[in-house]
Amino acid sequence: MSDATPAARDDRDGAARASCGAVLDPGFVPARGLASPHLQTLWAAYRRPVPQPACTLEVFPTADGDVTRVARWTPLAGEGRPLVLLLHGLNGSHRSRYMRGMAATLIAAGYEVHALEFRGVDGGPMRGPRSYHAGFTEDLASYARHLHRAKPARALAAIGFSLGGNVLLRWLAETGEDAPLAWAAAVSVPYDLAACARTLHRGRGRAYEAVLLRELCRNTARRVRRYGHPRLSAHGVLRCRSIVEFDDLYVAPLFGFRDAEDYYERMSSGRILKDIEVPTLLVQSEDDPLVPASILPGAEDLAPDTILLRARAGGHVGFIEDGDRGRRSWCDGVILDALTRHVPVGRGSRPVAGA
């Protein structure tokens, strides 16, 4: 693990007193043989060995009559530690390697972990026409209220990856000082959705777009066959040839946006980061093949209690380094260290607006 973590610790007090956040170079060094951002991204997504701790799957009813799925990992010990809520990226689920790896790290340290899945992913249940998008915060808000009611004495933290990070940051900005979290982290966030969609549709990004789009359209067609759509048939969904086309034809009319550009403009988290009141850690790499470095926020874009660790390498939700026992996730260790420092055992939860 990088020895730059203490630098983040030393700088946080100064950042909190300032009018903006802080951007730090954490000194991350990629594992040997994984210097390429594509190797970082793909090895982490498909080859990274992670434990498979047993979890309990539950169906959570949403406010509009649909359902979504939650995976819960409970440690053998650790009563009084905060609850940690995980949010996955596009097409992810509780079974994604980065989700299982983060969950395993947390439960080994005694934390109870809940992974909230977006509607219908990975073959999950569905009972209505609406799915999810990069700024869909309703289910996150509902589940946070549920946790607060169920365990009001426990502090709540949340960690979002990629699209889930954008959802988390938007929710924090929307709720401001009423946010029920004691601490948050977000990794490889697409702060500008339009810029990321364009990146996916050119050069090497096309390979990532093809993989993402294939699963996205297949899952969406299942919902459209069952519940319909204002404009598209299931066949029309399967004919989408870009993320922008999918968002324009499927997401925009279903959720009341004028078009894809309107959706991207209104739902991108980058422009509202200043509104976040919760201590937040952001982890990004400059060589992310899905998120261009040009859209990463500067210190002036961040709220005073936000730290951005801007690594020079790491790919997209990669950050794989060499450890004593082989390759490991540098990011998981940094997040666990920050969570442990900023949310001490026994600290109570913040009240939830509307709870």
> The domain spanning residue 297 has which CATH number?
3.40.50.1820
Query: What is the percentage of the chain residues whose pLDDT exceeds 70?
Result: 91
pLDDT value at residue 81: 82
Residue 256 in domain: no
Taking Cα atoms as reference points, which of 148, 149, 130 lies closest to residue 138? 130
pLDDT in tens, 282-301: 999 999 999 999 999 999 99
Amino acid at 138: E
Q: Which of 192, 247, 288, 332 is catalytic?
A: 288
Q: How far apart, in whole angstroms, are the C-alpha atoms of residue 196 and residue 200?
A: 6
Residue 115 in domain: yes
Q: How far apart, in whole angstroms, are the C-alpha atoms of residue 285 and residue 303?
A: 20
pLDDT exceeds cutoff 50 at 266: yes
Taking Cα atoms as reference points, which of 306, 350, 335 lies closest to residue 99? 335
Ramachandran angles phi, psi of 163, nearest 5°: -55, -40
Residue 172 in domain: yes
Amino acid at 71: A
pLDDT value at residue 193: 98
Higher pLDDT, 288 or 1: 288
pLDDT in tens, 22-38: 999 999 999 999 999 99
Residue 337 in domain: yes
Higher pLDDT, 211 or 1: 211
The H or E element spanning position 23 is strand 22-24
Q: Look up residue 315 and give its DSSP letter.
A: T
CB atoms within 10 A of CB 7: 16
Mean pLDDT of the 206-235 span: 96
> Which residues constitute the domain of residue 327?
5-192+268-342
CB atoms within 10 A of CB 267: 20
Q: Which of 162, 268, 269, 329 is catalytic?
A: 162
β pairing state of 326-329 and 320-323: antiparallel
State the chain's mean pLDDT as an integer.
92
pLDDT exceeds cutoff 60 at 5: no
pLDDT exceeds cutoff 90 at 348: no
Residue 355 in domain: no
pLDDT exceeds cutoff 60 at 84: yes
Q: Look up residue 81 and give its DSSP letter.
A: S
**Number of compact structural domains in the chain:** 1
Q: Is the pTM of this model over 0.75?
A: yes
- Label residue 19 by pLDDT band (50, 70, 90): confident
Q: Which of 88, 133, 316, 342 is catalytic?
A: 316
pLDDT exceeds cutoff 90 at 249: yes
pLDDT in tens, 99-155: 999 999 999 999 999 999 999 999 999 999 999 999 999 999 999 999 999 999 999
Residue 205 in domain: no
β pairing state of 183-187 and 280-285: parallel
Tell me which of 10-19, 203-212, 275-284, 300-309 is least confident.
10-19
Residue 207 in domain: no
CB atoms within 10 A of CB 166: 31
Find out whether 225 and 123 touch, Cβ atoms under 8 Å. Answer: no
pLDDT value at residue 78: 62
Residue 83 in domain: yes
DSSP 224-282: HHHH--SS--HHHHHT--SHHHHIIIIIHHHHT-SSHHHHHHHH-SGGGGGG--S-EEE
162 a catalytic residue: yes
Find out whether 322 and 237 touch, Cβ atoms under 8 Å. Answer: no
288 a catalytic residue: yes
Query: What is the percentage of the chain residues whose pLDDT exceeds 90?
Result: 86
